[in-house]
Amino acid sequence: MTLPVTRLQVVAVDRITPRTARVAFEAEELADTVGTAPDQQLKLCFPRPGQREPLLPAGQDDPMGWYQAYLAIPEAERPVLRSFTLRRRHPGTRRIEIDFVLHGDAGPAAAWALRAAPGDRLGMVGPSALYAPAVPFAEAGKDADWLLLAGDETALPAVATLLEALPEGERAYVWIEVADRAERQELTSRAELEVRWLYRDGAAPGSLLVEEFRDTVLPGGEPLVWLAGEAGAVRAVRRFLIEGEGVPKENIDFTGYWRHRLGQDDAPTEEDLADARERLASSS
């Protein structure tokens, strides 16, 4: 199975909250089966300064060949990669939507999104079923009494797609930490939802989410938990659930999307590496 590599052109930009831009793209190539499942991960390729659009690695039959082709591009011309979750694929078209959290112009992705306009071009690697994460709730009725999805604003695209995929009659709790009340988004699902919005209002990222878990009595029974967001907060919540609530490790799907005070290009910490090893072990 090959990993799609294609160019994208911006067709619309919608500021859905003061700090979130939803960008609609038209892909040059996109198979009908791509991006139809929830929580689909992909990489966007951003141009280097002075480039109108990024250079892209050549497509490869080997699913990991794209990365070797990427490294073969001279470093000064090599596109900047950032990981995202596909928010929506419009059926029967090559149109997709991706949400960008706007947290200033220090990072290449946020800086690009602040200025994005129709006609701008990026590259995309993925999404692909080969690297699609297992949806932990596909057979939740067999394995758990209830579901919990928790994270910050960076997790909202994935949370929204997971909720939209839940069947009628499922019971799910959703806890989302955002900057303030203006960052709330509408979440829809056929499942029975209980949604809590946590507003930082200047507090440290992840702090309210950690406090919410420590201060709340969780429902009885065995849950399935999906966690994503700031890596330190995800790590603290996961540790609390395992050590404080007795939730089995295998019942928690967790991802640290970003790190407070550290960029994606900074070296991983020992805790980051430990998380990666544990995620790899749980998926094997």
Residue with tokens 């200047």: 202
Cβ atoms of 10 and 119 within 8 Å: the answer is yes
| Residue range 65-89: mean pLDDT, rounded | 93
Enter the tokens of residue 60: 């490869």
The reported pLDDT for the residue numbered 260 is 64
Distances (CA, A) of 126 to 5, 85, 200: 6, 10, 33
Cβ atoms of 79 and 54 within 8 Å: the answer is yes
Delineate the domains of the chain, giving CATH numbers in brackets.
Answer: 5-125 (2.40.30.10), 140-283 (3.40.50.80)
CB-CB neighbours of 61 under 10 Å: 7
More confident residue, 33 or 96: 96
In this predicted structure, the answer to whether residue 133 has a pLDDT above a threshold of 70 is no
Residue 259 CA to residue 265 CA, distance in Å, equals 11
| Residue range 74-78: mean pLDDT, rounded | 94
Give the confidence band of 66 by pLDDT, cuts at 50, 70, 90: confident
The reported pLDDT for the residue numbered 141 is 45
The reported pLDDT for the residue numbered 267 is 46
Helix (H) and strand (E) counts in the chain? 7, 11
Give the confidence band of 259 by pLDDT, cuts at 50, 70, 90: confident
pLDDT tens-place string over residues 137-167: 655 444 688 999 999 999 999 999 999 999 8
Residue 200 CA to residue 206 CA, distance in Å, equals 8
Give the confidence band of 32 by pLDDT, cuts at 50, 70, 90: confident
Q: What percent of the chain has pLDDT over 90?
A: 66
| Residue range 92-105: mean pLDDT, rounded | 91
Residue 113 CA to residue 98 CA, distance in Å, equals 10
| DSSP secondary structure string for all residues of 204-243 | PTTHHHHHHHHHSPPPSS-EEEEEEEEHHHHHHHHHHHHH
The reported pLDDT for the residue numbered 16 is 97
> How do 192-199 and 171-178 pair as beta strands?
parallel
To the question of pTM greater than 0.85 for the whole model, the response is yes
The reported pLDDT for the residue numbered 284 is 45
Residues contacting 172, CB < 8 A, separation 6+ = 137, 146, 147, 148, 149, 163, 166, 189, 191, 192, 193, 194
Residues contacting 109, CB < 8 A, separation 6+ = 44, 46, 82, 84, 100
Q: What percent of the chain has pLDDT over 70?
A: 83
The residues that bridge with 6 in the sheet, in sequence order, are 124
Which candidate, 207, 213, 229, places its Cα nearest to that of 275?
Answer: 229
> How do 41-46 and 20-27 pair as beta strands?
unpaired
The reported pLDDT for the residue numbered 53 is 94
Distances (CA, A) of 46 to 1, 26, 88, 123, 152: 25, 16, 20, 7, 24
In this predicted structure, the answer to whether residue 279 has a pLDDT above a threshold of 70 is no
Give the H or E element holding residue 282.
Answer: helix 270-283
